[in-house]
Structure 1
Amino acid sequence: MYIYTFKNLMQFSGLNHQMITLWNKKYKIFREEKIDRDSVFNKFDLKKLIYVSFLADSNKKFTVERLCAMNVSELQVLAEFEVQNYLQKSNDYQPIIRLMISSCFSYDEKSFDSILSICFKKLGIEDCCLDLIFPFIHEIVEILKTHSMEESVKSFTRNLVRNHLHYYIIVSSHTIKTNDKRRWLCFLPEGEKNDIDLLFAHLYFKINGESGLLLGENQELSTVVQCLESVKITHVFIYIDDDYDLNVLATYLEEIKNVAPDVTIFVASYANIKETLKTSVPYVNVNSPREFNEYLEKIRSL
């Protein structure tokens, strides 16, 4: 079982040292009667703290004293129900993100799926992805960079999100009429396996009636070329991580343009690569999902 430090609890819950100490002293939120900066905690301590914090802030009828007297299972049921009410009155999604982080670090798939399903239903697919999922994933990645947490948490989290995106891609394919005026080719180049952004782009095409082919992750250049030679593609969407080899990317762009000179190429990355990517091939570099959505809206209006 993974052990969390006091510093972990403060970061994940958004509460300061004084507040956590006070809650334990007055209401005995943890099993240990006395805690300090050297204390260690388990996943149930983390979940309880985050649930109590969320419920106390989201609904004034819940007092901290009453919440601290409950066990984790009782708090979880209340929190999942309260998410619906919270989303109706607030557009600050950080407390929801903390609930999702808590579910991931305790490997609680059921809780995570319940919370995210509610968010998709209340916010809609596009806003849920832009305002909740991507900030959540970014925060998980940053946590793993600064703390020696299990790498398996990252894999577990991505698979949970991936399952939801795949589900909505299938639903959209059956319910939304496709306009074949444009056809997009979406892929990750060889060596890239982080496909969350790619799946969202493909989902966004679906919910907006755009036609697209999803090749997926880790695609060799020869595979991409074969597709371009076989199918009429008007736009290409490529996603790369910040540390991807830009010389390899340049080779992809040049060969794509050679095979399909009329295509418009989008390269999605969280870092601006315009200054460092050495290529004469014209392309659009987008640095956030929302920025890409703005480009797509302009394209669809033409």
Structure 2
Amino acid sequence: MSTYSIKDLEQLSGIKAHTLRIWEQRYNLLSPKRTDTNIRYYDDDDLKLILNVALLNDNGFKISKIAGMSSLEMREEVIRLTEKNLTYDDQIHALTICMIEMDEERFEKVLSTNILKIGFEQTMLNIIYPFLSKIGVLWQTGAINPAQEHFISNLVRQKLIVAIDGQVNKGGGKKFLLFLPEGELHEISLLFATFLIKSKGHKVIYLGQSTPKEDLQLVYRLHRPEYLMTVITTSPNSQEVQGYIDCISQEFNESEIVISGYQIVGQDLRFPKNVKALHYIRQIKEYLEELEQVFQEK
């Protein structure tokens, strides 16, 4: 079971820590535990409760009424609400609850409902990515356990693969080679880039996770793609990433290299002429639209 500080609850629910403490005292909403050194902490049940409270409160329920509801009544009301056309924040709350409970059926239903209503691309941009970003800090600090991370990542990955398979290439377009550096396993952004690139009618050669340099060179020589794209989240690390950028820039100097990820965003890096850095996920779509404009003008 994971443990959370009151600041973790604030980050995930959007309810200020000060407000949480007032509700705790006035309505006995929470029962914090204490470590051997008397530090307060909260568990998964507390997080689920506060996420449900936040969603209900955001949708007009008074806190005094919420405090009088049983856990079952609260859960049923939340499920009813999340099946309506709610805000993105409400849907993110719902996904977070699914993650904590590791409820695959409910997670699938929330995602599918949103995809039907606003489409796959908008669901990814406005719900999935903010959700992953919101809990990403907690993954890094250990507040959320690896099992929960793998559970969510694999479900999102499955959705992406199905969406990619649904794209039909009619020929034409440019050739993109997508890969992750050796040791890099976080491929959700790369899969989403694949979906967007194919949706624009381009061809994708997808090498995926942890691509050895020799394999990358072999495929590059065989296909001679106009564009390479990669995402660096953990590997290479911050001390090695500049050298890696310089290396692939020289190795594949006949192509434009598009690069993004945690080790790229906000870092003090030098980008050679043939390297284009994208600092947030929406830029992938914008970049492709700019390319399309250039192709049309030629």
TM-score range, shorter chain: 0.7 to 0.9
Using the alignment, how far apart are the partners of 1:285 and 1:48 within structure 2?
A: 40
Superposition map of 1:152-231 within 5 A: 152-170=147-165, 172-173=166-167, 176-231=168-223
Q: What SS class does the counterpart of residue 214 from structure 1 fall into?
A: strand
Given that residues 185 and 215 in structure 1 are in contact (C-alpha distance below 8 angstroms), is that contact kept between their aligned partners in structure 2? Answer: yes
Superposition map of 1:90-169 within 5 A: 90=87, 93-146=88-141, 148-169=143-164
Using the alignment, how far apart are the partners of 2:77 and 2:224 within structure 1?
A: 52
The Cα shift of 1:74 comes to: 4.2
Identity, in percent, stands at 23
Deviates more, 1:217-226 or 1:66-75: 66-75
Q: What SS class does the counterpart of residue 298 from structure 1 fall into?
A: helix
Q: What SS class does the counterpart of residue 93 from structure 2 fall into?
A: helix
Say if 1:215 and 1:76 are closer, same or farther in 2 by CA, change over 3 A.
farther
Give 1:75's aligned residue. 74
Q: Gapped runs of 5+ residues in structure 2?
A: none
Give 2:269's aligned residue. 276
Amino acid at match of 1:201: A
Say if 1:20 and 1:220 are closer, same or farther in 2 by CA, change over 3 A.
same
Paired residue for 1:253, among 249, 252, 256? 249
Say if 1:35 and 1:216 are closer, same or farther in 2 by CA, change over 3 A.
closer
Deviates more, 1:269-278 or 1:245-254: 269-278
Tell whether 2:232 aligns with 1:234.
no
Deviates more, 1:267-276 or 1:228-237: 267-276
Using the alignment, how far apart are the partners of 1:138 and 1:186 within structure 2?
A: 22
Given that residues 104 and 153 in structure 1 are in contact (C-alpha distance below 8 angstroms), is that contact kept between their aligned partners in structure 2? Answer: yes
**TM-score, normalization: structure 2?**
0.81
Using the alignment, how far apart are the partners of 1:16 and 1:273 within structure 2?
A: 27
Give 2:9's aligned residue. 9
Given that residues 82 and 94 in structure 2 are in contact (C-alpha distance below 8 angstroms), is that contact kept between their aligned partners in structure 1? Answer: no
Q: What SS class does the counterpart of residue 122 from structure 1 fall into?
A: helix
Using the alignment, how far apart are the partners of 2:226 and 2:55 within structure 1?
A: 46
The Cα shift of 1:216 comes to: 0.3
Using the alignment, how far apart are the partners of 2:257 and 2:5 within structure 1?
A: 46
Say if 1:41 and 1:234 are closer, same or farther in 2 by CA, change over 3 A.
same
CA-based RMSD of the aligned residues comes to 3.0
Give 2:52's aligned residue. 51
How many residues align structurally?
Answer: 286
Using the alignment, how far apart are the partners of 1:9 and 1:187 within structure 2?
A: 36
The Cα shift of 1:41 comes to: 3.5
Q: What SS class does the counterpart of residue 180 from structure 1 fall into?
A: coil
The Cα shift of 1:27 comes to: 4.8
Superposition map of 1:14-33 within 5 A: 14-24=14-24, 27-30=27-30, 32=31
Q: What SS class does the counterpart of residue 194 from structure 1 fall into?
A: coil
Deviates more, 1:76-85 or 1:222-231: 76-85
Q: What SS class does the counterpart of residue 183 from structure 2 fall into?
A: coil
Q: What SS class does the counterpart of residue 172 from structure 2 fall into?
A: strand
Given that residues 102 and 148 in structure 2 are in contact (C-alpha distance below 8 angstroms), is that contact kept between their aligned partners in structure 1? Answer: yes
Using the alignment, how far apart are the partners of 1:231 and 1:153 within structure 2?
A: 38
The Cα shift of 1:126 comes to: 1.7
Given that residues 47 and 72 in structure 1 are in contact (C-alpha distance below 8 angstroms), is that contact kept between their aligned partners in structure 2? Answer: no
Deviates more, 1:245-254 or 1:46-55: 245-254
Paired residue for 2:289, among 271, 274, 297? 297
Q: What SS class does the counterpart of residue 157 from structure 1 fall into?
A: helix
Tell whether 2:279 aligns with 1:287.
yes
Q: What SS class does the counterpart of residue 230 from structure 1 fall into?
A: helix
